[in-house]
Amino acid sequence: MPRSHLFGPEHEEFRGTVRRFIENEVRPHVDDWEAAGQFPPELFRRFGGLDLLGLKYPEPYGGTDAGVIYEAVLFEELARCGSGGVAAGIGAHVAIATPPIHDFGTDAQRKRWLAPAIKGEKIVALGVTEPSGGSDIAHVETSARREGDVYVINGSKMFITNGVNADLVVVLARTKPEGGHHGLSLLVVERDTPGYSVGRKLDKLGWRASDTAELVFQDCRVPVENRLGEEHNGFRLAVGNFQWERLWIAIGAVASAQRSLELAIEYAANRVQFGKTLSSMQVIRHEIADMALLIEQARQLTYYALWLHSKQLPCTKEVSMAKIAATEADVRVADRALQIHGGYGYMMEYPIQRAWRDARLGPIGAGTNEIMREVIAKELDL
Ligand SMILES: Cc1cc2nc3c(=O)[nH]c(=O)nc-3n(C[C@H](O)[C@H](O)[C@H](O)COP(=O)(O)OP(=O)(O)OC[C@H]3O[C@@H](n4cnc5c(N)ncnc54)[C@H](O)[C@@H]3O)c2cc1C
């Protein structure tokens, strides 16, 4: 039975291809990559070589124009690879960093940056959050002062996924000191630009195989032609991809929760206490039933939001609801699954501990769940 009317046989065939690739070429390595604190940057080329980095982009730039439902399948399968960090690094490249280049770049900018990003030859990051705050992005402080044909960027960006290895960073910077959210622009900064540096690689609770960095800009001069879209309109442009960013997190969270459920079921079926398996004990059976219920509620809401988005229908409220439901289900299910593992759940050799650590990012990233609730309240005209 198809898991949803959203996925036809062609999507399921694609899912099979992605699943085999991930099972054979990603999953066997994730323990090493988690221990190393990053996956090899060459992995982008492997994904690019399989046409997985341009699923929603036009063919002239190397994309397959397959659409967002295919990309949603990619997110689901990535989330099952056993490392939230790998899913985060590849996911950030396709879900948040390259969309502004495609959506607001000129033909020349797309050829220069999007085409190699789709091949996995260039790694892209998105730099919005700053040390002073990530929720209130209208008050971005990193400045980009215009001097003739260049912008001079000063400031720093915090918690940037792919920040260490990025060849390009799409930066939200203040081009007009006054004007709040009307004074921001999106600028592409390339790796070797003088004045741009990786301040430090950040150590994290979870998502450990993804590289996360603080980026520093000190009199970093970028040409005006590196601006995406209109000057001072960067806030609106950045917001333009928020729904897809949140859906990416929601879709991944549902798939991660599903994997935690499967780990719990497998463990409960094999662990014997008091002469019987855990899965024969009613309290455990009901716990697992509740976990499955939580996941299904989140999945259906997420698929509904995805369907609205894929049809370009208004979906701000539904996407925020899906992001909350999915990420909170993931945290809860991972926690209950760890509990079912007993002491073994607390051991690093069991995969559930990583699922538990990775899940905790969901309610924080891509707009916190408090901000999601605020978005929903506004949509309800409160
Ligand atoms: C591993 C990781 C990867 C990330 N990757 C990226 C990336 O690639 N690019 C990028 O730009 N950013 C990235 N981020 C940043 C992420 O988007 C921010 O951490 C997030 O938006 C929250 O911002 P903050 O951490 O500054 O928290 P703050 O904004 O300081 O918020 C702190 C707390 O206060 C709450 N709060 C704030 N304002 C309100 C309000 N009005 N009402 C109620 N509660 C409120 C928040 O919900 C939160 O609980 C990443 C973060 C992490 C941890």
d(CA 65, CA 67): 6
**Cα(245) to centroid(ligand 1), Å:** 14
Where is the domain boundary, 195, 216, 233?
Answer: 233
Using the atom order of ligand 1, give the atom closest to the CA of residue 374.
42
* CATH, residue 80: 1.10.540.10
Mutation to probe ligand 1, out of 364, 373, 374, 375 (largest number of atoms < 8 A from CB): 364
Rounded distance between C-alpha atoms, residue 354 and residue 331, angstroms: 12
Residues 22 and 152 in one domain: no
Note whether 322 and 358 are same-domain residues. Answer: yes
Asked if residue 297 is part of any domain, the answer here is yes
Q: Choose which residue among 129, 162, 164, 172 to substitute to test ligand 1 binding: the one with the highest number of ligand atoms within 8 A of its C-beta.
A: 129
| Ligand 1 atom at shortest distance from the alpha carbon of 157 | 11
The continuous run of DSSP H or E covering 158 comes out as strand 150-161
* Distances 354 to 25, 183, 206, 227, 250 between C-alpha atoms, Å: 19, 41, 7, 39, 18
Which residue's C-alpha comes closest to atom 25 of ligand 1? 134
Are the C-beta atoms of 261 and 296 separated by less than 8 Å?
Answer: no
Q: Give yes or no: residues 158 and 133 share one domain.
A: yes
Q: Quick one: pLDDT at residue 2?
A: 54
Residue 227, CA distances (Å) to 38, 121, 147, 187, 230 in order:
30, 21, 14, 4, 8
Q: Is residue 350 part of a domain?
A: yes
CATH code of residue 285: 1.20.140.10
State whether 199 and 189 are in the same domain. Answer: yes
Minimum-distance ligand 1 atom for the alpha carbon of 210 = 1
To test ligand 1's pocket by mutation, which of 86, 135, 140 has the most ligand atoms within 8 angstroms of CB?
A: 135
Whether the CB of 135 sits within 6 Å of ligand 1: yes
Domain end point (choices 64, 92, 123): 123
pTM for the structure as a whole? 0.98
Instruction: Give the Cα separation of 257 and 239 in Å (integer).
Output: 27
Report residue 283 CA to chain centroid gap.
35
Say yes or no: CB of residue 133 within 6 Å of ligand 1.
yes
The stretches of the chain forming alpha helices (DSSP H) are 9-21, 30-36, 42-49, 68-79, 84-92, 99-104, 107-109, 115-119, 234-239, 242-270, 282-310, 316-340, 351-359, 369-379
Check pocket membership of 107 for ligand 1, CB cut-off 6 A. no
Structural domain containing residue 291: 241-379
Q: Is 119 a domain residue?
A: yes
266 neighbors 279 (Cβ within 8 angstroms): no
204 phi, psi to nearest 5 deg: -130, 160
DSSP 170-219: EEEEESSSSSGGGGEEEEEEETT-TTEEEEEEPP-SS-TTS-EEEEEEEE
**Considering its fold, how many domains does the chain have in total?**
3
353 C-beta closer than 6 A to ligand 1: no
| Whether 245 and 358 share a structural domain | yes
Tokens standing for residue 333: 């299910």
Distance of alpha carbon 126 from alpha carbon 158, whole angstroms:
11
DSSP 64-114: ----HHHHHHHHHHHHTTS-HHHHHHHHHIIIIISHHHHHH--HHHIIIII
Label residues 271-293 b or e (16+ Cβ within 10 Å = b). Answer: beeeeeebbeeeebeebbeebbe
Alpha carbon distance 316, 310 (integer Å): 13
375 and 245 belong to one structural domain: yes
Residue 1 belongs to a domain: no
The number of the ligand 1 atom at minimal distance from the alpha carbon of 130 is 26
| Residue 71 and residue 17 share a domain | yes
Minimal-distance CA residue to ligand 1 atom 22: 134
Backbone angles phi, psi at 326, to 5 degrees: -70, -45
| Cα 246 to averaged position of ligand 1 atoms, centre (Å) | 13
Q: What is the atom index within ligand 1 of the atom nearest the CA of 206?
A: 1
- For ligand 1, say whether the CB of 186 is within 6 Å of any of its atoms: no
Same domain, 204 and 309: no
Is residue 292 located within the same domain as residue 258?
Answer: yes
One domain, residues 213 and 286? no
Could you tell me if 104 and 133 lie in one domain?
no
Q: What is the CATH number of the domain that holds 134?
A: 2.40.110.10
List the beta bridge partners of residue 185: 173
Instruction: Select which of 214, 245, 287, 318 is catalytic.
Output: 245
Taking only Cα atoms into account, the Rg of the chain, rounded to an integer number of angstroms, comes to 21
pLDDT tens, position by position, for the chain (382 residues)? 556 899 999 999 999 999 999 999 999 999 999 999 999 999 999 999 999 999 999 999 999 999 999 999 999 999 999 999 999 999 999 999 999 999 999 999 999 999 999 999 999 999 999 999 999 999 999 999 999 999 999 999 999 999 999 999 999 999 999 878 899 999 999 999 999 999 999 999 999 999 999 999 999 999 999 999 999 999 999 999 999 999 999 999 999 999 999 999 999 999 999 999 999 999 999 999 999 999 999 999 999 999 999 999 999 999 999 999 999 999 999 999 999 999 999 999 999 999 999 999 999 999 999 999 999 999 999 9
Quote the ligand 1 centre to 373 CA distance (angstroms). 14
245 tagged catalytic? yes
Q: Among 233, 263, 278, give the residue marking a domain's end.
A: 233
